[in-house]
Amino acid sequence: MDTESAVPPPHADEPEADPLTERRWQAVVRRDPQADGEFVYAVRTTGVYCHPSCPSRAAKRENVAFFDTATLAAAAGYRPCQRCRPDAPSLQQRRHALVRQACEAIEHGPATPTLAQLARQAGMSPYHFQRIFKAVTGLSPKAYHQALQAKRVTSALQSAPSVTAAIYDAGFNSTGRFYENAPALLGMAPGRYRQGGAGEHIRYAVERCTLGWIVVAATRKGICAIEFGDEPQALADRVRARFPQAAFEPADDAFRRWVVRVLRHIEQPRGVLDLPLDVQGTVLQHRVWQALQAIPAGQTVSYGELAERLGQPKAHRAVAHACAVNPVAVAIPCHRAVRADGSLAGYRWGLERKAELLKREAAASLLKEPSADAVIDGKPSKRHRRTR
C-alpha cells in the first residue's frame, strides 16, 4: 500500500460503528474478495483507499474509513492503492458484466446460444463459465433460458390463437417438452391457464418476514404457491397476473392460520410444515417433492442420492429440475437438496435465503434429540448431512 501524504485522523467524538460498518470491517479483516465492488476502505494515516481484499498489511481499525464507491473515496482526498487498483473494475464487477452479456445473448439472440458459445464469448472454459453464471444468477444458462421460456409462454397463452401456437412462439422445440414442465410452471393445465384461471377460487396474502417478503396463495383445495421476493407489490401482481380470470376471495380464518404457520416455520423451523397442498407436476416431480418432505430439518441430501433412493440413479438432473420448479417454498423444502460435495446449488429465491433457511434449521435441530435417518420411498437415506 502507498505510504505518502496522510489524511487527518478522525475526531475523538466519532459515533460508534453501526452494523453495516462492522460488517464491512469484518470483510476487510477476512480480505473477502466477494466484497470487492460493494465498497472501498481508506486508511487515514496513508491517504490511500483499497478493495476489501487488498493483500497489503492490515491497518488499525481506528484509522479506517469506508466509502460506497471509489469515486466518493477520491472526492474525500484519498488515492487508489497501486497494489489492488480499486479504481479499476473489480473481478466481481467484471464477472457481472460478462454474465449480463450472456443473459442478453440468451434473451435477444436469433437462436439460443449453447454453453460452449457463451463460454467462448466470455473467454472461458464451459465449466468455469457455468460456475460463474450460476454464482451470479443462481441458475445455469440452461435453467435461465427455461425460466425465460416460461415467462414468454405465460404471455403467449394470453394472445396466441392456440396452445400449440403459444408453445412454439415461446421457443419450445416440442410440445412434449413443454407439457412435461407445464403444471409446475403454470400451476394448472395450459388450457385452464389460457382461460386465465377461470373457475379457480384463490386467496392470497403478502407478508413481511426476516427473509424479505413472501406471498402465500391457496385454492379451495390447499396452498398452491409460496414464494419469496423483495417487493410486496411485485409478488401480489405476479399472483393476479398468473390467474387474471380467477375469482379472488377474501382471506378466511382457516387461510389466515395457514399463513401464520408458514411465517412461524420460516422464523423457527421446527418439525414438518404439514399443510394441505394443491400443486401439480409430473409423477417424478411429485415423488421428488415427497422425498424432500421426508428429509429431517437440519439435514441435507444430494440430488444424486435423491435420484438413487427413488430408484432412478441416472435421473439426478430431473431431480434437480423438480427442485427448481417447486411452487411452494419451505412447504416442500427444496432448499435441503445440495450438490454431491455438500455445497449449495441454485435456489430460485436466492442462495442467501437458502443458506439462511438451512442455518435456522440446523440451529433448531440442536434443541432436539438427533432424529433417525430419513426414509425416502421406504428406504433409509445413506448420507443425510448435518448442515453447518
How confident is the model over 2-37, as pLDDT tens digits?
434 444 444 434 445 577 888 899 999 999 887 888
What pLDDT, on the 0 to 100 scale, is given for residue 79?
95
Are 275 and 261 in contact, with CB atoms under 8 Å apart? yes
Q: 197-261 is classed in which CATH architecture?
A: 2-Layer Sandwich (3.30)
Residue scoring higher pLDDT (191 or 208) = 208
What does the angle CA 207 – CA 181 – CA 170 come to, to the nearest 5 degrees? 95
Fold for the domain defined by 283-386: Arc Repressor Mutant, subunit A (1.10.10)
CB within 8 Å of 327: residues ≥ 6 apart: 184, 187, 224, 225, 226, 227, 279
More confident residue, 373 or 331: 331
Pick the closest to residue 87 from 34, 43, 36, 47 (CA basis). 36
Q: SS in 3 state form for 231-263? A: CHHHHHHHHHHHCCCCEECCCCHHHHHHHHHHH
**Strand 385-386 vs strand 379-380: parallel, antiparallel, or unpaired?**
unpaired
pLDDT at 91 over 80: no
* pTM for this entry: 0.50
Q: Phi/psi of residue 170, each to 5°?
A: -80, -5
| pLDDT tier for residue 44 given thresholds of 50, 70 and 90 | very high
DSSP class of 39:
B
Instruction: Characterize the bridge pairing of strands 40-43 and 48-50.
Output: antiparallel
Question: Within 10 A of 196 (CB to CB), how many other CB atoms are there?
Answer: 16
Contact 145, 113 (CB under 8 A): no
Model pLDDT, residue 323: 92
Q: Which CATH superfamily is domain 19-80 in?
A: DNA Methylphosphotriester Repair Domain (3.40.10.10)
Q: pLDDT at position 239, please?
A: 84
| pLDDT of 244 | 74
Rg (CA), the chain: 24
More confident residue, 39 or 92: 39
- The pLDDT score that the predictor gives to residue 177 is 59
- The predicted structure's pLDDT at residue 94: 78
pLDDT > 50? residue 213 = yes
pLDDT digits (tens, 9 = 90+) for 233-265: 999 988 887 777 778 888 888 999 999 999 999
pLDDT bucket at 141, cuts 50 / 70 / 90: confident
| Residues 360 and 268 sit within 8 Å (Cβ to Cβ) | yes
The predicted structure's pLDDT at residue 182: 59
The DSSP symbol for 14 reads: P
Query: Which of 97-111, 152-166, 363-377 bottoms out in mean pLDDT, i.e. has the lowest?
Result: 363-377
Q: What is the pLDDT of residues 272-327, one digit of tens each?
A: 788 999 887 776 788 899 899 999 888 899 998 998 888 878 788 888 888 988 99
Query: Residues with catalytic annotation?
Result: 50, 334
pLDDT of residue 346: 79
Domain map of the chain by residue range?
A: 19-80, 91-137, 197-261, 283-386
Would you state the pLDDT for residue 55?
92
